[in-house]
């Protein structure tokens, strides 16, 4: 597969909103690819449910609008998700990008953004949904581990897959070393997939993902 992003940027940038809860290294990778013009997207806002998430600082450093909606301030998951929908819609994104957003989403929220919300998950789904994926891969004796980028559906970490990248699990791997190598791959893969959306190459038809003009997926 050609891992370089398409440099021929003709159309207007894809407006995206990115949701985070933590360090935001994937957010940083997306910012960096926008800056070096290999990703034709515009980050309208970064929204965090954690007030001191370092990713908010990364966004501010890049002059990107930030919003904090702290879930503890809401009576219910539905009330928080409704506030989040309203906030996201203010920015009118064409794609909602979950980048380390550690919240279980209500069905109403997921359905509201059906077909236009993606997530990155640090495992080869359907293996290891949920948390502690690197530790579980080691405990399971997996020979391969990796990442998945998928549409968000109402099933936790269960939506249609767009891209997976696997790496070998090494004999001396710890959960930290494994996490670090997977994260490095995440930083390559997520901007690439968002660029596919910017190029309008990704389609969801009958719950199946079609990537146009990509020999690997035809
Ligand atoms: C990433 O490894 C991402 O795949 C994971 O959280 C990390 C966020 O890192 N997401 C999930 O586990 C979602 N189920 P980052 O804040 O440095 O981008």
pLDDT for res 213: 79
The CA distance from 117 to 151, in Å, is: 6
Q: What is the pLDDT of residues 162-183, one digit of tens each?
A: 999 999 999 999 999 999 999 9
Q: How big is the chain by its Cα radius of gyration, in Å?
A: 17
CATH number of the domain bearing residue 68: 3.40.50.170
Catalytic site includes residue 121: yes
Does 176 fall in a domain? no
The per-residue pLDDT for 172 is: 97
Burial of residue 151 (number of CB atoms within 10 Å: 0-12, 13-18, 19+): buried
**Residue 98 token pair:** 């979950």
User: What is the SS3 assignment for 19?
Assistant: strand
Percent of the chain residues topping a pLDDT of 70? 93
* pLDDT value of position 214: 65
Look at residue 63 and tell me if it is in a domain. Answer: yes
Ligand 1 pocket residue status of 181, Cβ below 6 Å: no
Full residue range of the structural domain in which residue 67 is found: 7-127+147-166+187-211
User: In the prediction, which pLDDT does 11 show?
Assistant: 76
User: What stretch of H or E contains 28?
Assistant: helix 25-35
Q: Is the pLDDT of residue 54 over 80?
A: yes
Whether 171 maps to a domain, the answer reads no
Residue 75 domain flag: yes
- Residue 107: inside a domain, yes or no? yes
Relative to the CA of 26, which ligand 1 atom is closest? 18
The whole-angstrom separation of Cα 29 and Cα 42 is 13
125 pLDDT higher than 90: yes
Mean pLDDT, rounded, of the chain: 94
For residue 1, pLDDT over 90 is answered with no
Residue 24 Cβ < 6 Å to ligand 1:
yes
Domain assignment present for 142 = no
The total number of structural domains that make up the chain: 1
The region of weakest confidence among 8-12, 28-32, 97-101, 112-116 is: 8-12
Q: Which residue has the CA at smallest separation from atom 9 of ligand 1?
A: 100
Q: What's the mean pLDDT in 152-169?
A: 96
> How many whole angstroms from 22 Cα to the centroid of ligand 1?
8
Q: Is residue 180 part of a domain?
A: no
pLDDT at 2 over 70: no
Structure confidence by residue, pLDDT tens digits, 200-212:
999 999 999 999 9
Please report whether residue 205 resides in a domain: yes
**Mean pLDDT on 117-136:** 98
């Amino acid at each position: 597969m050609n891992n370089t992003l398409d440099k021929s940027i003709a159309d207007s940038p894809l407006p995206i909103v990115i949701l985070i809860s933590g360090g935001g290294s994937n957010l940083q990778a997306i910012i960096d690819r926008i800056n070096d013009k290999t990703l034709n997207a515009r980050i309208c806002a970064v929204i965090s449910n954690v007030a001191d998430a370092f990713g908010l600082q990364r966004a501010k450093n890049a002059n990107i609008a930030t919003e904090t909606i702290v879930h503890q301030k809401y009576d219910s998951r539905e009330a928080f998700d409704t506030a989040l929908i309203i906030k996201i819609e203010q920015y009118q994104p064409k794609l909602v990008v979950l980048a380390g957003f550690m919240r279980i989403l209500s069905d109403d929220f997921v359905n509201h953004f059906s077909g236009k919300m993606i997530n990155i998950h640090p495992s080869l789904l359907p293996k290891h949904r949920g948390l502690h994926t690197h530790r579980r891969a080691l405990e399971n004796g997996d020979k391969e581990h990796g990442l998945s980028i998928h549409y968000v559906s109402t099933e936790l970490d269960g939506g249609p897959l767009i891209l997976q990248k696997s790496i070998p699990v090494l004999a001396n791997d710890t959960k930290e070393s494994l996490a670090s190598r997977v994260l490095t791959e995440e930083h390559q893969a997520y901007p690439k997939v968002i660029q596919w959306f910017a190029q309008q190459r990704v389609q969801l038809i009958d719950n199946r993902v079609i990537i146009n003009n990509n020999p690997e997926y035809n």
